[in-house]
Amino acid sequence: MSKGLRSRVESAAEQALARQKYVTPVDVCVGIGWLAPVHVDNWRQGRVGALVDVLPVDETKLGDLLEHLERWAAAKGLKRSEVSYIAATRDRRELRFTSAAGSGPEAAAPRWRAQWTSPDLTEKQSERITQRRSAAPDLVVIQPAKEFTCAECGETERDLLIMDDAGPLCLGCADMDHLVFLPSGNAALTRRSKKASRLSAVVVQWSKPRKRYERQGLLVEEPALAQAEQECLADEDVRARRRERDAERRAHEDVLFSGKFTAEIKRLYPRCPEGRAEEIAAHAAVRGSGRVGRSAAARHLDPEAIRLAVVASIRHLDTDYDDLLMSGVPRDLARERIRPAIDRVLATWS
């Protein structure tokens, strides 16, 4: 078995465990680049026959991945459980990993359904994670970018559709046209409407720039929405005060984290100019920015994450990288040109 694959599997597993307190083979496939999130979405929503259909490697490589992951999990003392993977389709069928229907039993399926949780979690916490992940997912309705033909009634539509084995169905043929659309944006209203509605579905739309489906809102029963609106009006003041307390708590946590991040930069790069470490930490660790400082590795003060944040700062402030981009130099080529300058600054700061 490849040592290179083993290190990639272990790195992806470590990151998933740090981020969510559990890790699965699917998480690792995403982490090492064998699966894109859109592939997982298509599989979970029943648009792919089996997961292996969108994996770019053969069964031997998949077996090696599972073997590396199982050995790593055993060495870490992780707790193993098994998760049910249910499709986000009207029939709520069980998703397949390897074999197509009728081609024989999925011998490897139990290994793919394995979930390893952190030994730091209590038994109840581990059970809650397993129960939550084994629950049937939300039904998914798609807001199409162009017209489609309903597979049941044959009508051409531009409205919402839900995928079925026969093809796209309009909401009338799917018996979901009595639901009303609740746009995203009000978390309390969405949560309460979904809880009160016997039938609900998440509405998504394909984003070309981000190459993924993005949530647009929720379809719920109209009486459920009316009930949720009344509940939200009744306790708006309480929720407003809670939001203020949460904002204060997050601000305090951000100050503490930024301080730790700054201290780690100074430890790794003791000759970093005065005030620069604080500037790098403040920029990299902005909540919701998606920058390296908010990654799972950075929250654990991983040296590589710290280095990436420092390199990003040097790239923009101590090289002509931005000038190269403005002059039309491709991003990858611009980074290659400035690499010696970054290495010199890092050597000076170290």
User: Residues with Cβ < 8 Å from 337, sequence gap 6 or more?
Assistant: 324, 329
**pTM greater than 0.75:** no
Q: Is 335's pLDDT higher than 50?
A: yes
pLDDT at residue 257, as a whole number: 86
Strand 139-142 to 201-207 pairing: parallel
pLDDT at residue 104, as a whole number: 41
pLDDT at residue 1, as a whole number: 56
* For the chain, domain boundaries: 3-137, 140-234, 237-349
pLDDT at residue 179, as a whole number: 95
* pLDDT tens for each residue of 44-89: 888 888 999 899 988 889 999 999 999 999 999 999 999 889 888 8
Q: Which of 180, 159, 181 is nearest to 170 (CA)?
A: 159
- Tell me the sheet residues that pair with 22: 117
pLDDT at residue 346, as a whole number: 94
At 229 the three-state DSSP class reads: helix
pLDDT at residue 240, as a whole number: 83
pLDDT at residue 105, as a whole number: 43
- Mean predicted lDDT score pLDDT of the chain: 88
Percent of the chain exceeding pLDDT 90 equals 50
The mean pLDDT of 23-34, rounded to a whole number, is: 94
* pLDDT tens for each residue of 170-222: 999 989 999 999 999 999 999 999 999 999 999 999 888 888 889 999 999 99
Banded model confidence at residue 25, pLDDT cuts 50, 70, 90: very high
CA atoms within 13 A on the CB side of 255: 5
Banded model confidence at residue 289, pLDDT cuts 50, 70, 90: low
The mean pLDDT of 226-254, rounded to a whole number, is: 87
Distant-in-sequence contacts of 252-258, Cβ < 8 A, 24+ apart: 254/285, 254/287, 257/285, 257/299, 258/282, 258/285
Q: Encode burial over 88-118: b for 16+ CB neighbours within 10 A, e otherwise.
A: bbbeeeebbbbbeeeeeebebbebbbbbbbb
pLDDT at residue 101, as a whole number: 44
The mean pLDDT of 226-243, rounded to a whole number, is: 89
Q: Is 151's pLDDT higher than 70?
A: yes
Indicate the DSSP class of residue 98: S
Instruction: Determine if residue 331 is left, alpha or beta; phi over 0 gives left, psi from -120 to 50 gives alpha, anything else beta.
Output: alpha
The mean pLDDT of 285-296, rounded to a whole number, is: 65
* pLDDT tens for each residue of 77-121: 999 999 889 888 878 888 889 765 444 445 578 899 999 998 888
Q: How far apart are the first and last CA of the chain?
A: 37
pLDDT at residue 293, as a whole number: 59
pLDDT at residue 241, as a whole number: 87
The C-alpha atoms of residue 96 and residue 85 are separated, in whole angstroms, by: 8
